[in-house]
Structure 1
Amino acid sequence: MADRNLQSFIVDYSLQLLQQDMLTNSLFMGSATGKTLRDLVLKEASVPLRTDPTAKALSGTLRADAGMLRQASKNVAEAQSIMDTGASAMNSIKDILADMKDIADEVAAGTMTTANAKPLYKSLRDEMRGIISSTSYNGISLLDGTNWGTDSRMTTSGSGTTLSGSLRIQSGSDGFDLALLDMKSDLYNAYDDGTADLANAAAAAATATRLSTDSTTVTTIADLYAGRSSSIAGHSAALAKQADIMDAAAIVRERGNDGRTTEELLLDLILRASGTLVDENG
């Protein structure tokens, strides 16, 4: 049985070799087609292979779109960082207000004197002011609206305690406005060094009430910034994913771009029709 299989293999292999040899002699000897094929195989091409300009244009467009989307993703990620920075600052202010309220409550309850409470209270007040003045991102003031008027990147609306600003974020061919709220007018000058705020039990009690209200407002803003950051993160990730898809599509399109000459296509067709010495299909 094994001998018959071996003999059959030798016969088939020999016939295939003979077929290849006959086809080669027929195509490569004497005819114009044979000369073209010989030149193709034996000579180095003197001109670059022809390519499909449409395919090149399409793959180039896909890559350009991918680049635009990737830049948009970076822009949106910057917006997320702005919101994260703002939320972190507001949470710090919230903690400071809570500590200031504790001091005011102590004075109101008579368990701490104004003299003892005042330096602690002032230190916290100054720390809060420092956060409001210094919190920024890439030179953009995030909490101090008094700086927005001189920043060409910012658009403002309202004034005083209703002042707000917006920063345009470019996202692809469109964009969105990132809203920022001014804390300078609301909090920076809302509390003194403790002289009046903690002057007596009644003043301290009123101050504690104001601090509680402001703490609630600051907490709300911090939560809004954090929520905005979360939604922006999803937006950035989606844009980056779209860019990856565009890049992959460009690669596939380029691979599908058959830049072979007519002679190469003819030779490939002939070889496919006549078979190869090795069965690549297993």
Structure 2
Amino acid sequence: MTDKSLNTMLVEYSLQLLQQDMLTNSLFMGGSVGKSLRDMLLTESQSRKVTDPTAAALTGRLRSDAGMLRQASNNVSEAKSIVDLANTATTTLQTAFTRMKELANGVATGTMTYASVQAEYNSLASQITQTIASASYNGIALQDGTAWAADDRVTVSGGSGSIEIQSGTSSFDLALYDFSSFKNAFTSTQINTVAKAAAMVTTLSGHITTVNTVASNYASRSTILDSQASSLASQADIMETAAETRAKANESRSLEELVLDLLLRETGTITDEEA
């Protein structure tokens, strides 16, 4: 360090000490203002501890955002539950159609008789109707489109239904598939001859393709919703932790501590903390 640099540093350091000394004399030596500050800073205060309003606002915002994210996670989890129930019902249709096709094919190829499969075919047809009519979530029909018009929670467009799911500040639509055309649509008379049974095999193959596609879509959507719900919950955890940390760092500070901190920051410190 050169002599010039050293001299400059000593001058600046002396000026800083002089500034602090002048401020201290002004505040703490004589006069009503000095007395008030001395009483506030140096005596035991009985005043109520207060919170920095800026810090409190930030903490409140963090907690508000955390609550919003937590609710969004719950809503998405509920959407996943809806999808899972709809998928279970769709898988039931898939299994019933597959077995009905086997019975129809048996009659068409002569490996089974109509009399031997009639009762089971009718039972499966009834199962399909019952599944579609009963599949619901909190009263929302999941497969029976004929019930959607009377339910204001379901939006109907072009024969399809959807439920709006609120997720934070935005929302998304959860699609529902209408299988009402399958209700009461099957009886064993459809396979009581070889020709009719062969035709029904083709028809049922188309139905199986349809329900397989829907079941696959539901399964994929369920996985996505599960991941989304977990992500939102994690974000809520982070925000809640941040709010708690912020609260602990600021809410215990008194007015006296804030004023003293302000004075020290405005006048500097004796040592250079950046050195």
TM bin, normalised by shorter chain, reads 0.7 to 0.9
Give the C-alpha shift of residue 254 in structure 1: 1.2
Name the amino acid aligned to 1:183: F
1:217 equivalent among 206, 210, 217: 210
Question: Are the counterparts in 1 of residues 107 and 114 from structure 2 also a CA contact under 8 Å?
Answer: yes
**Residue 278 (structure 1) aligns with:** none
Cα distance, 1:70–1:121 mapped onto 2, change above 3 Å:
same
SS of corresponding position for 2:51: coil
CA distance in 2, matches of 1:99, 1:264: 77
Instruction: Name the CA distance, whole Å, in 2 between partners of 1:262 and 1:34.
Output: 11
- Residue equivalent to 1:183: 179
Task: Kindly indicate whether the alpha-carbon contact (under 8 Å) linking 2:73 and 2:167 is maintained by their aligned counterparts in 1.
Answer: yes
Counterparts in 2 of 1:258-269, with a 5 A limit? 259-262=253-256
Alignment match of 1:203 (pick from 176, 196, 202)? 196
Q: Identify unmatched segments of 5+ residues in structure 2.
A: 1-27, 29-33, 270-275
Name the CA shift for 1:55/1:35 in 2 (closer, same or farther; >3 Å): closer
Q: Which residue of 2 aligns with 1:130?
A: 130
After TM superposition, the score normalised by the length of structure 1 is 0.75
> How much has 1:34 moved relative to structure 2?
7.4
Change (3 A) 1:119 1:263: closer
TM-aligned CA distance change 1:37 to 1:171, over 3 Å:
closer
Query: 2:40 touches 2:256 (CA, 8 Å); kept in 1?
Result: no
Q: What CA distance in whole angstroms lies between the structure 2 residues aligned with 1:265 and 1:100?
A: 83
Partner in structure 2 of residue 17 of structure 1: none
Question: TM-score, structure 2 length as denominator?
Answer: 0.77
Q: 1:217 to 1:36 in 2, by over 3 A?
A: closer
Counterparts of 1:136 and 1:227, CA distance in 2: 20
Q: Tell me if the contact between 1:36 and 1:263 (Cα under 8 Å) persists in the aligned partners.
A: no
The answer on 1:164 being equivalent to 2:160 is yes
1:250 has 2:246 as partner: no
How many Å separate the matches in 2 of 1:198 and 1:112? 11
SS in 2 for 1:256: helix
Q: 1:43-95 CA deviation, whole Å, 9 max, x = no partner?
A: xx543113201111110111011101100100010111111111111111111
Cα root mean square deviation, aligned? 2.4
**Paired residues, number:** 230
The aligned counterpart of 1:100 is 100
Question: Residue 233 of structure 1: CA displacement?
Answer: 1.0
Deviation at 1:37, TM superposition (A): 6.4
Structure 1 CA distance for aligned equivalents of residues 237 and 135 of structure 2: 34
8 Å CA contact 2:86, 2:135 repeated in 1: yes
Contact 2:80 2:222 in 1 (8 A): yes
The residue number in structure 2 matching 1:140 is 140
Structure 1 runs of 4+ with >3 Å offset: 31-39, 263-267
Mapping of 1:1-282 within 5 angstroms? 39-40=43-44, 45-158=45-158, 163-185=159-181, 187-191=182-186, 193-195=187-189, 197-257=190-250, 259-262=253-256
Q: Identity, % of aligned pairs?
A: 46
Amino acid across the alignment from 2:210: T
